[in-house]
Amino acid sequence: MTIMISAENLTKRYGRRPAVRDLSLTVEAGQVCALLGPNGAGKTSTMRMLLGLSTPDGGRVRLLGEPVGLGAPVLRRVGVLIDGPAFVPHLSGRANLRLLWSAAGRAWPPPGLDAALDLAGLGDALDRKVRGYSMGMRQRLMLAQALMRQPDVLILDEPANGLDPAEVRALRERLAALATEGAAVLVSSHQLAEVQQLATHVVVLHHGRLVAAGPMADLVGAAGSLEEAFLTMTGEEDERAAR
Amino acid sequence: MLRVELTTQLLRIRTLVALACLAAVPVAAGVSTAGNAGHRNGGNVGLFGAATYSALNHALASLAFLEPLLLPVVVSLLGTAIGAADRDWGTLRYVYVAPVSRRRLLTGKLAALGVATAAATLCVPLAGLLTGLVLFGWHPFHVVGAANLTGGETAVRVSIACGYNVLCMLSIAAVAFALGILLPRGVEALGASVAFVIAATMLNGTPVLRAVQDVLPVHYWQLWTPLFDPIGAAQLGTGVLVQLGTVVVAVGIALLVLLRRDPAA
């Protein structure tokens, strides 16, 4: 299988605090990989490094076999949702999509615009200013921005935030379909039940270190659910009880 | 990137209102002095004394009136917005993953800074010209105490004056832009750059601080007005060098911060 996302011995510190320690992971074409961990485990820091938004203190990152830095050309083939949605508030949803697409010098419209807008389901609101959007509408617009590129790689930080159950299901089906078509999807999430339905593979981080990685079925194993397996792996319940 | 920056900054309501405020001053000044059309404007001398003689006179007098304070404040607003707005909105990370390289981002922002500064600066004489056309008519440029300028002389001097003013405003725009890149939030950068304009203007008005004045860009902003005195010449060389130096230093600082800072930090 083709390796689409690869991180080798990634390390990142913020001041003296280590955020990610010696992390290696790969995501292959056709996989939906969930990046899991308690708050502060290093998930978002890892995703930022994978996208070139943060420079690792050690290790290296490759997307689609190419090295990644800030604004690297390979990012044209990557759909991104990171650190929540963000838009120019005084422009409409459509103008924002156009702006983010044409910023890289590409001609409007993008190849997957119609399908992405279908999923976003914003209707007439697409031509209203983003300033008036709800949290869920912003999230759906940002997902449309990530999907309209018809990306080979998707890196999505908490993609289901603010979505209602029907929207979460539609997103799950869309991501699964993209993976079937050969894309690699990396999602971070705290919604473990949802992740269990969506992901084929799991990477678990705790205190910036890799705790476990592998196919979903192997990791869930005898625990019966991803939630049980996750809490056992990270010792979160024990830590909470000790506090 | 230039189109992106212009769409997000120049075509927003806040910017258009600021430009409208700038344009409103020549209109208000023209209306208030319309009774003196074709005559000297009260006891004033220089550009202000001749403001009521023709549309061109009113245009240049408007520029001389607004250049010391209101124009640089508006230019600061534009400069800080171009430097800081995408970080304030959180869209900078999505621009980088669009993907846009740092070099392309900076080039686009600097081009937008130039266009926005020129638009703000030139909207003042343009508004003065249009107001003057209605109120004072199209006549040769009048110089108090000297003969009217010929068409050729007027074209050359007005071009030099406008170009010099754009350069002067570009220096404060560059300072505001650098502050926008450097400080955590746009509003802080705006406050700092407006404070810089006010403080520099006050320092420039304090005769004992001659050594400080010499390095302040503000000190050279009005050097162009002798172009329209009876002598008709202005020493702009030092002013040009100081403005260019300010632009280079400010853009250098912005570039350094942009290159060294982790965008996710």
In tens, the pLDDT along A123-150 reads 889 999 999 999 999 999 999 999 999 9
Q: Which two tokens stand for residue B113?
A: 């800074």
Using a pLDDT cut of 70, give the percent of chain B over it: 99
B145 assigned to some structural domain:
yes
pLDDT given at position B207: 82
Which tops the pLDDT comparison, A232 or A92?
A: A92
ipTM score of the complex?
0.93
Q: Which two tokens stand for residue A137?
A: 């509408």
- Band (A236; pLDDT cuts 50, 70, 90): low
pLDDT given at position A95: 94
Residues on chain A touching B101 (C-beta within 8 angstroms): 70-71
Q: Which of left, alpha, beta for B12 (phi over 0: left; psi -120 to 50: alpha)? A: beta
| Count of domains observed in chain B | 1
Whether residue B89 and residue A71 make contact (CB cut-off 8 A), yes or no, is: no
B52 assigned to some structural domain:
yes
Nearest to A152 by CA among A198, A191, A112: A112
Q: Which two tokens stand for residue A130?
A: 């983003």
Nearest to A61 by CA among A23, A35, A16: A23
> What number is the average pLDDT over the span B227-248?
91
Q: Give me the domain span that covers residue B8.
A: 2-260
One-letter amino acid at A237 equals: E
Pairing of strands A58-63, A3-14: antiparallel
Q: Which two tokens stand for residue A158?
A: 């908490």
State how far the Cα of A102 lies from the Cα of B98, in Å rounded to an integer: 8
B265 assigned to some structural domain:
no
pLDDT given at position B46: 84
- This prediction has a pTM of 0.90
- Give the DSSP H or E segment for A201: strand A201-206
* Candidates B7, B89, B264; nearest CB to A48: B264
Which residues of A touch chain B, with CB atoms under 8 Å apart? 14, 45, 48, 51-55, 70-76, 78, 80, 82-84, 86-91, 95, 99-104, 145
In contact, B181 and B258? CB cutoff 8 Å: yes
* Candidates B4, B7, B102; nearest CB to A70: B102
pLDDT given at position A241: 59
State how far the Cα of B77 lies from the Cα of B22, in Å rounded to an integer: 13
State how far the Cα of A114 lies from the Cα of A214, in Å rounded to an integer: 35
Q: Which two tokens stand for residue A72?
A: 């690297």
pLDDT given at position A27: 96
> What number is the average pLDDT over the span A18-43?
93
State how far the Cα of A149 lies from the Cα of A106, in Å rounded to an integer: 11
Residues on chain A touching B264 (C-beta within 8 angstroms): 45, 48, 53-54, 83
pLDDT at A87 over 60: yes
Whether residue A71 and residue B94 make contact (CB cut-off 8 A), yes or no, is: no
- Band (B155; pLDDT cuts 50, 70, 90): very high
C-alpha dihedral (B42, B45, B49, B51), degrees to nearest 10: -160
Q: Which residue of A has its CA nearest to B98?
A: A104
One-letter amino acid at A182 equals: G
Task: Give the sheet arrangement for strand A184-188, strand by strand.
Answer: A78-81, A153-157, A184-188, A32-36, A201-206, A209-215
Residues on chain B touching A48 (C-beta within 8 angstroms): 264
- Band (A224; pLDDT cuts 50, 70, 90): confident
The DSSP 8-state label assigned to residue A126 in this structure reads G
In contact, A189 and A196? CB cutoff 8 Å: no
Pairing of strands A66-67, A58-63: antiparallel
DSSP-assigned beta bridge partners for residue B74: none
Q: Selecting from 3.40.50.300, 1.20.1050.10, 3.40.50.720, 3.30.70.260, what CATH number does the domain A3-86+152-242 have?
A: 3.40.50.300
Whether residue A52 and residue B105 make contact (CB cut-off 8 A), yes or no, is: no
pLDDT given at position B232: 74
Whether residue A87 and residue B89 make contact (CB cut-off 8 A), yes or no, is: yes
C-alpha distance from A54 to closest chain B C-alpha (Å):
6
- Give the DSSP H or E segment for A19: strand A17-28
> What number is the average pLDDT over the span B38-66?
90
Whether residue A99 and residue B7 make contact (CB cut-off 8 A), yes or no, is: yes
B121 assigned to some structural domain:
yes
B197-220 pLDDT, tens digit per residue, is 999 999 988 888 888 888 899 999
- What value does the mean pLDDT of chain B take? 92
> What number is the average pLDDT over the span B68-74?
94
* Pairs across A and B, CB distance < 8 A: 83
